[in-house]
Amino acid sequence: MKKVKLIFTGGTISMRIDPETGAAVPALSGQEIVAGVPELSPIAQYEIIDFAKLPGPHMTPRLMLELSRLVKESLADPSIAGAVITHGTDTLEETAYFLDLILDSDKPVALVGAMKTSDLPSWDGPANLIAGVRTVISEQARGLGVVVTLSETINAASEVTKTHTEANDTFQSLDFGPLGIVDRDRVIIFRRPARRQHIETDQVDFNVDLLKMASGMDDRLIRYCVDSGAHGLVIDGLGRGNVPIDALPGVEYAISKNLPVVVVSRCPRGRVLDTYGYPGGGKHLRKLGVIYGGFLSGQKARIKLMLALGATRDVARIKEIFEAGMY
């Protein structure tokens, strides 16, 4: 029987309703969660690690780095087949992508969570935990990179996003679809990830800001980020990767300070491209020196830029990290 690491970080899967506030708060340890899932024992041996008891919004890139070191150490153990990490769903996709970029192992890693608290009859935590364990002990999952397994669906960390505030099937890969499914006791993989990438670094630059564009925005926030010490910027642009004309001077200002500026789209699907040639359009931004983020969301591009800056301060090299094989 294969052995896996179960790493608990908190999230709704660990929550109960606090009788004083009437709201959900982290409460259960890893051991307490597993005690409610006796079906795990016939599937795999496991070792439990309580990394934290955090709600999703309290997870930070600094903690992600610490978690990555723990996972790397766990996977280095030859007796361990893979790792399952419980996590709050609000930031789960960011941690999953962070781990996917920084870990360099063919052993499967699956992040799981829950959309309902443990004191509700509809608690989805046990089923997701079981599916996560089935995923990482499957030979088919080797080499997939980090995945997200919820609602018996397996998605690539690089492609998945949370699409609904409450629905159980909230995690979806809108551009490419799932990698596979967990069908009762069987893991079925339909495809491999469209693109896997590893950034060789043990450092992270946390001074990266993310700004979302909207109609009529100017450059005040961009200039503030630059002047307050940002080392990189991610612009969640309009449409194909464009910015309002009044925000354009801020982009120019950031690039003049030799900051990497990555442009993605606020649209939930599609790739950014230099289709438009007007001031603030993609072609214009491209000539200024912006970096394209491909299919990435703003939150994932921010994670990637933090790791890229940890590896190098060379803007040309960072551009290559983002654009190689995409443009």
165 in active site: no
Q: How far is the C-alpha of 26 from the C-alpha of 12, rounded, in Å?
A: 7
Q: Among the options 12, 91, 153, 161, which is catalytic?
A: 12
222 φ/ψ sector (left φ>0, alpha ψ -120 to 50, else beta)? alpha
Nearest to 169 by CA among 189, 190, 155: 155
H or E stretch at 287: helix 282-288
Q: How far is the C-alpha of 128 from the C-alpha of 149, rounded, in Å?
A: 7
SS3 call for 213: coil
Which H, E and C letters describe 238-280, residue by residue?
ECCCECCHHHHHHHHHHHHCCCCEEEEECCCCCCCCCCCCCCC
- The residues that are catalytic are 12
